[in-house]
Structures are given as structure tokens and as C-alpha cells.
Amino acid sequence: MAPILRFAPSPTGRIHIGNARTAILNWLFVRKSDGQFVLRYDDTDVERSTAAFAAGIAHDLGWLGIVPDRVEYQSKRFDRYRAVADELRAAGRLYPCYETADELDRRRKRQLARHQPPVYDRAALKLTPEERQALEAEGRKPHWRFKLDGRNVEWVDLIRGPQHIDTTNLSDPVLVREDGSYLYTLPSVVDDIDFGITHVIRGEDHVVNTAVQIEIFEALAGKVPHFAHHSLLTGADGQGLSKRLGSLSIASLREGGLEAMAVVSHAALLGTSDSIHPCLDYRELIEGFDLAKLSRAPARFDDNELRGLNARLLHMTPYAAVKERLEHGDEAFWLAVRGNLTVFADIKDWWTIVAGDITPKIAPEERSFIDVAARLLPPAPWTSETWKVWTEAVKAETGRKGKALFMPLRLALTGLDHGPELALLLPLIGRDRTSRRLGT
């Protein structure tokens, strides 16, 4: 049976590099195994979820090259969750609780003061039907907790290896709020069962959830999927990324000019035993993909590293892949300047240097040297050999070599002390412009 995986963002905001990494790992698994990818919007929080965020997420995934086979919204499945909750109620696994948040808080503090674990004491389970009625007569509405088995839940995590969590140490989780709304826990399991999800790849912040959810899968006689929990991203300083997530949204990375495949390569290879290197398309990433390569240690995300990767990706990008995006210039221009781009938009500056108006930099003490060089300019047409022919002639005449020979020419021709190889630039700049820049 072909694997079925899901990526399950909450459309309460845009996805960031951390979510994208989860999505990409799921996508690579699907592509490697000829499986299916379900995009599931976890929008049970109807107040905070918006259609605009959902559309934004779909757009971001599309930009990353991820095309779901199926799209689902939890907000359209409330009837189904209600039916399942009733099933759990009938089986005695979902029980009503009437404590207010304040009461629970006080209870937790008392437990902590007595050095007891702050686990819900199941007081509500001991209520008699009369006591419940009395509470409801007071106007209290119940929230509903799932009664955990209180046992050692075990699974073999495809990243973390054998796991076991004793659910005796956990509070019975609230699955349904007082107002009848659902927390994420139950709908996620119901959907995973209904959509035939075979593998759940998600962040390790869900490890404890997994123990709880495995109990729910079993209570519903659903097939428990395989689980893989990847480590979370930290900043270069080892701290969590939470404060910077806005600027690390996929939308802002895109607007900042990064290439989709640079973001994909970075997210896919970060925290694996493979080196982080640019991949022009998914092929190599799919081929090399293996959950066993993911490290359990937190993966460090460094913006500078991503920008560096973007530059390396551009450096190896063939003309055919950018042809449509180039406003000016031909293949020779692309091949000349691609190695000097950090983001694609930098190309504008190089076009100006090739074909626009620049201010040549000619120091007064270099004036006579530049005059000699101008006099020795070879006749048109110019080719990639012209630079060599010209500088050999200038060298022979002036006796200059190395930096003393090349730098004044670069400064005069481009106004900059760095840039693409002049052998490639010179024929693009052409004889007329060169001659003008040299001041002749």
C-alpha cells in the first residue's frame, strides 16, 4: 500500500522555515515512496483561522514545489468529530469536568507545593450524577477529558528510535472545550484514521502528544501510523527561533529575493548527515532522502548560511533556468555575472555596469597609465580573448603586472574593486563604452 502523509498547518498565520521543513520532509518521503500528500488545515480554532492565511500557505507550498494530492479542512468536519466524541463518551473514555481554569490552577499550585506532579486528579470522575446536575444547575458547562489508560505507550520512532512514555504521569487531556469546540488532539487522530494516514512526520514538540494520540487511535480501533519526530530549529546562537519567526516566514524569505530551491535545499538538508549544498531541483534530494539521516540534535538555522547557499545555487544555475526571468542580457551576460549574485535581484547592478551609466574610478596618479591602456585597446570585434590580448599589450608597454596592472583597469571599467571576471565582462561592455569609461 502506498504511504499517505499529511502536513497539517493551522491557518492562523503564514508558515515559516520551521513549518516548511516539516512540509518538505513529508514531501520528500511521499515522492521517494510514490505516496500521497494530504494538506490538512487544522482550523478548528475558527476565530483565529482565516481563508487568507490558508490561501497564503497554499501559495507558499506551491512556491516550494509542493503540490498536495488532497486538501482537507478540519472546520468542515465538525459533525464527524461530534460523532466520534459521542462514541468515546459512550465507551466511558470521555468524561465531563466542571473545574474552572482558576480552580485547576490552584489545585496545581497545591500539588507543586507538596512536591507532587501537577497531574489532573480526576476529581470529576468521582462526581455522582446528582453532583453533576447541581453543577450544571449553577450554570457550569462541562469540558471533556479523555481518560488515559495510564500505561507505557511505546512506538518505534523513525527518527528517534524506540520511545516509551508512561501516560500515568500525564493529565487526562481535554479534547472538547466548554463551548463545544475541539482542541487539536482529537480531530487530528480522527482525520489520520479517516484519511488512511500511514506516516506522521512532525516536530518533536509533539512527542508527548503522540503517546496520548496513540491511546486515542487505539480507543477508536484505528490503525496507528508510523511516527517520526524531527528536532526543532534553533537560531545560530542556539536559542529558539520563536521571536524571529515573522522574518523567517516563507513569504518574507521569498520577498527577500531567495530562490525557492535554496530554501528547499537548506530546509531538507539541515540537521541531516548530508552536507548542506544547493540542489537545482528535487531529484537529488528525493534520491538521497532517508529519515535515518536526520539527527536528534537541534538543527541550527543561520540566515547567512541560507544566503550563502542561495549564492551557490545561483552560481550553478544554467541560463535556461533563468532565461524567462532575465530582463536584460543574454547567456554570456548570465554566465559572466551569476557567480557574483547573492540574490537574483543583484543582477540589476551588474547590468548597469555592463550597459548603463557608471562613474569610472580613476585616481589622478593612474591617469597616465589609463591613457596608455586606452591607446592600446584592441580593435572590435571583441571576444573572451580580448582582455588577455589587451592586458598583455598594456603590460609590455608599462611594465606593470598583477594587481597594479588589473585593479586600475577594473576600477575604471566598472567603478568597483570587485566583480565578475573582466575577460567575460569586457566583450559585454564593448569597445565604445570601454573607451568612454577610460576617458578617451
Question: Which chain residues interact with ligand GLU by CB under 6 A?
Answer: 8-10, 42, 184, 188, 202, 206
> CB of 35: closest distance to ligand GLU in angstroms?
16
Give the C-alpha separation, 440 to 372, whole Å: 10
Q: How far is the CB of 202 from ligand GLU (least distance, A)?
A: 4
Contact 360, 438 (CB under 8 A): yes
For the chain, state the CA radius of gyration: 31
CA-wise closest residue to 336 among 428, 431, 225, 203:
428
205, with CB counted inside 10 A (0-12, 13-18, 19+), is exposed
Closest CA to 155 of 205, 209, 194, 203: 209
Cell 500528500 belongs to 37
The C-alpha atoms of residue 393 and residue 388 are separated, in whole angstroms, by 8
Taking the complex as a whole, the smallest distance from the CB of residue 220 to ligand GLU amounts, in Å, to: 16
Distance of CA 337 to the CA centre of its chain: 28
Min dist CB 282 to ligand GLU, Å, is: 22
CB of 148 to ligand GLU, least distance (A): 18
- Residue at grid coordinates 551569476: 338
The 10 Å Cβ neighbour count of residue 305 is 14
Cα 392 from Cα 422, distance rounded (Å) = 14
Give the residue with the Cβ less far from ligand GLU, 203 or 430: 203
Residue 284 near residue 264 (C-beta atoms within 8 A): no
| Closer CB to ligand GLU, 10 or 386, in the complex | 10
List the beta strands (DSSP E) in 78-142: 94-97
Residue 226, phi-psi category: left (phi > 0), alpha (psi -120 to 50), beta (remainder): beta
Burial class (CB in 10 A: 0-12, 13-18, 19+), 93: buried
Name the burial class of residue 303, with classes exposed (0-12), middle (13-18) and buried (19+) by CB atoms within 10 angstroms of its CB: middle
Q: Strand locations in 222-345, DSSP E?
A: 226-230, 233-235, 299-301
Angstrom distances, CA of residue 73 to CA of 151, 187, 190, 382: 33, 11, 13, 61
Nearest residue (CB) to ligand GLU, 40 versus 93: 40
H/E stretch holding 109: helix 101-113
Handedness of CA 172, 178, 180, 183 (dihedral sign): negative
Shortest spacing between CB 246 and ligand GLU, in angstroms:
17
